[in-house]
Structure 1
Amino acid sequence: MSKSFTNIAQSHVFFDDSPGLKTYYEDWAPRYDVDLADQKWVAPRVAANFVHLLASAYGSPESTIFDAGCGTGLVGAFLSKLGDYVIDGVDLSENMAAEAARTKAYRKVYGGVDLSAPTRDERLDQYDIVVSSGVFTLGHVRPTALLTLIEYARPNGLILVSTRGSYATETGFEEFARSPEVAGRAALRFKLEDANYIAEEGADYWVFRKAGTRS
C-alpha cells in the first residue's frame, strides 16, 4: 500500500470532529497535491469543466464562483484557464487555503471556515455557481452540509457537488438530496452517475438550482 493511499485513507476518520480534520489537513497541506496526483484524483478537473459548462449554458464567462472546500486551489486553477471567472474559496484548513491563494486564481480565500456550520460566513457573498469537490467524502462533512452550500448561492444560482461513491452509500446522501428539507431550498436538476473521481472509485456529481423568482 502506497504512502499516498494511506494518507488519503487516514483523512477519512474525522466525521463530526472538525478540529481533528483541520489539524490533519494543516499537516498534510505541503504534500496534498502530490498524494492526490499519485492516486489519479481527477475530481477537480471534472468539477471545473462541469462549472464551465454550467456557466456557458446558464450564466456567462463572468459568472461568480464559490469554491466550497477549495483545498490547495485545484478547481480554481483549472477554472482560471477556462474563463474570466471571479472565484472565492474557503477551506477548513488555514494551510490549505494558503496554498490555494498561491495559485492566484482566487479573488478571496479564507481558511478556518467549517462548512458543517449551518450559516454563511459574513465575509462572503452569494454566488452564481457554488462548487464543492472532494468535501462530501468519508470522514469530512455530513449530507446536511449541502444546506450550507445552498446558502452561498444567489437566488436561482447553481450548486455542483461531488459525492464519492462509498460516502454516498454510507451516509444516505441521495435520500437527503431528494428530501423535502432540500427541495424546499433548491431543486435537484441533474445527477451524473459514477463518473471519474479517483483511481479507487468513482463519484456522482449533483447539480441543484436554488429557489428564486424564475424557473
Structure 2
Amino acid sequence: MNNSFANIKQSHVFFEDSPGLKNYYEDWASRYDGDLADQKWVAPRVAANFVHLLASAYGSPDTIIFDAGCGTGLVGSVLSTLGNYVIDGVDLSENMAAEALKTHAYRKVYGGVDLSVPVRDERLDQYDIVVSSGVFTLGHVRPTALLTLIEYARPDGLILVSTRGSYAAETGFEDFALSREVSELASLEFKLKNANYIAEEGADYWVFRKTGPTQ
C-alpha cells in the first residue's frame, strides 16, 4: 500500500468524530492535492464540468455557486477555467480553506464549517448552485448532511453531490435521498450512475432542485 492510498484510507475512519476529521485534514492539507492526484481522483473535474453544464442549461451569466466542502479548491479551480463564476466555499479544515484561497477562484472561503450541522452559516447566502464533491464519502458526513446543503440553495436552486460507491452502499444514501424528509425540500432531478471518481471505484452524481421555501 503506497502512502497516498494509505492517507486517503485513513481519512475514512472519522464518522461521528468531526474534531478528529478536522485535525486529520489540518495536517494533510499541504500534501492533499498530490496524494489525490496520485490516486487519479477526477471527481472535482467531473463535478465542475457538471456544474458548468447545469449553469449553462438552467442558470444565467451571474450564476453564483457554493462549494460545500471545497477542500483545497480543486472544483473552483476548474470552474474558473470554464466561466466567470462567483464562487463561495467552506471547509471543515482551516488549512484546507487557506489552500483554496490561494487558487484565487473564490470570492470568499471559510474554514471551520461543519456540514454535518444542519444550520446555514450566517456569513453565507443562498446560492443558485450548490456543489459538494468528495464530502459524501466514508468517515466524513452521513446522508443527512444533504439537508444542510439544501439550506444553502435558493428556492428553485440546484444541488449537486457526489457519493462514492462504497459510501452509498454502507450508508443507504439512496434511500435517504428518496425519503419524504428530502422530497419535502427538494426533488431529485437526475442521477449520473457509477461515473468516474477515483482509481479505486466510481461514484454517483446526484442533482436535486430545491422546492421548499427560503430559510
Relative to the length of structure 2, the TM-score reads 0.98
Asked whether the equivalents of residues 184 and 212 of structure 2 are also in contact (C-alpha less than 8 Å), the reply is: no
Which residue does 2:54 correspond to in 1? Answer: 54
Query: Which runs of 5 or more residues in structure 1 are unaligned?
Result: none
2:2 aligned partner, one-letter code: S
- Distance verdict in 2 for CA 1:13–1:189, change over 3 Å: same
1:71 aligned partner, one-letter code: G
Which residue does 2:97 correspond to in 1? Answer: 97
Asked whether the equivalents of residues 127 and 153 of structure 1 are also in contact (C-alpha less than 8 Å), the reply is: yes
Q: Secondary structure at the match of 2:206?
A: strand
What is the CA–CA distance in structure 2 between the aligned matches of 1:132 and 1:118, rounded to whole Å? 15
Residues paired across the two proteins, number: 213
Identity of matched residues, % = 84
Hey, which bits of structure 1, 4+ residues long, moved more than 3 A?
Answer: none
Aligned 1:28-177 pairs, distance under 5 A: 28-177=28-177
Q: Secondary structure at the match of 1:151?
A: helix
1:76 aligned partner, one-letter code: G
What is the CA–CA distance in structure 1 between the aligned matches of 2:197 and 2:182, rounded to whole Å? 25
Shift in Å at residue 135 of structure 1? 0.1
What is the CA–CA distance in structure 2 between the aligned matches of 1:71 and 1:25, rounded to whole Å? 9
2:151 aligned partner, one-letter code: E
Asked whether the equivalents of residues 62 and 83 of structure 1 are also in contact (C-alpha less than 8 Å), the reply is: no
Offset from partner CA, 1:75-114 (integer Å, 9 cap, x none): 0000011011100000000000000000000001000000
- Distance verdict in 2 for CA 1:154–1:18, change over 3 Å: same
Query: Which runs of 5 or more residues in structure 2 are unaligned?
Result: none
Asked whether the equivalents of residues 90 and 109 of structure 1 are also in contact (C-alpha less than 8 Å), the reply is: yes
Moved more, 148-157 or 59-68: 59-68
C-alpha root-mean-square deviation of aligned residues, in Å? 0.8
Which residue does 1:187 correspond to in 2? Answer: 187
1:191 aligned partner, one-letter code: K
Relative to the length of structure 1, the TM-score reads 0.98
